[in-house]
Structure 1
Amino acid sequence: MHFSTGLAAISALVASCAAHSLLSTPPPRGNTKWWGTCSAGAGCKGPCDSPMADSPFNSIYVPKKYVQRGQELEVAWNRLNHPGGFVRLAMVPFNQSDSWTAFNDNVLKYSCYETNCKTSAPNDMTFGYLNGPGSSPCTTKVTVPSNIPDNTAVTLQWIWFGGGIYYGEPDTSFGEYYGCSDMIVSGGSAYSDVHPVATFQGGDVTYPNSDVCKYWGSNKVGDCNFGSNMPNPIEGNLLSQSLEPCMHSPETKGKPYGFGSSDNSQTLTSLSPSAVYSAPASNIAPASDTGSSASSYSVADSSVPEDSSSVQSVYLTQTPDQPAIEPSSSGQSKCIPLPSSAF
């Protein structure tokens, strides 16, 4: 029996749907409920793949990763058969890693999802140009900011948003996916209390040497988190395990929210091909939060725990918060369920 190229591509996408995308380097916290993947559509609401209380970082038996101020960290994830979208990276003190506001106030960088990775079947046009299967590793680099004191436990957050083609539907977008990695900052460049400014590095496999990325749906973190809605899994119905797709919209190109004219912010001047762009902190989309905002680091609050009892003393007491979903002009959620005919 022979399968067509199109059928093989669809099979590859369907087979990978349970995995979608997740942070691989630095090693993420992981979770057991969703087999390591944190999908907003499946009910994992972030801001990390597991809450601070469940992080392996709390254990005195888990080796700690040390980094320095000014060090360039390689951040990696696998493409996992899904094209397009953006990646957002943020860093906060470990004891504030259950807070969406803390991460939104400390964004370091945005990049394209397909930074230096691509489909393994470039001639397969079933889902459009360079939208075929392939799970090659994707990477970017982010600099550890200088406003972190020595011996501070921190958490790096990774978000994928704006990805496309849910279960072979060319005009659909995925929800958001989250991952976090915990580490300790010690030494490096001189300490400075200057707050880092978020940057954007454009250019992907479809639009190389450019200041844009290919994406579907929304270019803004928070638009595809499905709010407090949770899926209602039905036995034997794999698609019922997630609220995805988030939106029905065609493939497009652009910059993350806050970096382009499409969101009414100031259009930034191109520096050079694949240049890095800076945006005011006020352009970073805020999220609702019942806890206090944390835009600076504190040695007293975020020092490295010596044992599990000292870790307990810095836990947040409020329920982990999440950004609110934004309604459309009709008052309905922007997240559109898959038509019943697809089940």
Structure 2
Amino acid sequence: MFMKTFGWSFAISAVALIVAFIYGGLEALILCAILGVLEVSLSFDNAVVNARILERMSAFWQKMFLTVGILIAVVGMRVAFPLLIVGVTANLNPVEAIRLAMEKGSIDDPGSYAYLLHEAHPQIAAFGGIFLLMLFLDFMFEERELRWLGLLERPLAFVGRLNGASLVIGLLVLVASATMVRPGKEIDVLISGILGLVTYFLVRGLGDLFDVDNDGDTDADDAGALAKSATRGVGKAVGKAAFMLFLYLEVIDASFSFDGVIGAFAITSDPIIIALGLGLIGAIFVRSLTVYLVREGTLDDYEYLDHGAHWAIGALALILLLTISVEINEIITGLIGVLFIGSAFISSIVRNKRVTAASLPSVDQLSS
């Protein structure tokens, strides 16, 4: 199962490294590999959240995530998105933005592609940080029987009883973030953060409109998948419901990639190397990991992984918002995510052993 799922990722990564070597020699190959590892290390929490959504989609829409979705991740977020940001902030047309990108100027050179993208970081961080913060808060504010960090999650669930609590907290955090940004950027940060809020509630609202969680329309071809998911009481979404899930998944995936895309320019300003490392290597492996989690049923076997992923999301959201005013190394972001996911995984193993031990008959029961 492992090689079946990850085999094509290894193959594409090898091709990407070869292309990088042909393009820029040994240095380009090393930079490409570093960016790929950076993206994967930053995206464990992304894969867990993606997997939980993907397992609710039909086989057709899962394939869409792996085909059309990967094009959006590689071409859209790793190539077109930086070009769009630079074009808008510097008032450049697409051709001029591409020309500027190929000049490979340093992030410290005013007017360079990397410099302009770095200058736009406060707006990008505000949008992505607020979007991910809403995702974290809505998960923690839900009432659920299973808790991982109970001392923290129970009070959060209590706060969640207040109608509109996530929106209130999100707006307060946004205002606090805007007060910390350098003079002249306050309005830009506020507008970007509000757009992040609007995007989150719009996508979630459309999901509710099409009844994403309880869509009754299913494909006959998905009978086997439905039988497998019946133990969880969840049907596979298709049609409009699956399409809305797909959009929601792509927006979440894009939000997770903001820090990696911006951070990549601290390593190299070459857009080709960034596309090969972050896109072809990093994004492909994240998708393979997502599919592996779905096919193996890992999220159901290790039930705290959801909690760990959302705590990592909360940490990433706060880090993004803090980077509006201070520099934080991407390695720290990646390590925090791995720490939460790893701790949740270990806690899940301990819980599973405890549950198994409790279900076994005692010595007295066996003797009787």
TM-score range, shorter chain: under 0.3
TM-score for the superposition, normalised by structure 1: 0.25
Which structure's relative contact order is higher, taking Cα pairs within 8 Å and 6+ residues apart?
A: 2
Q: Write 1 or 2 for the structure with the bigger share of strand.
A: 1
TM-score for the superposition, normalised by structure 2: 0.24
Q: Which has the larger radius of gyration?
A: 2
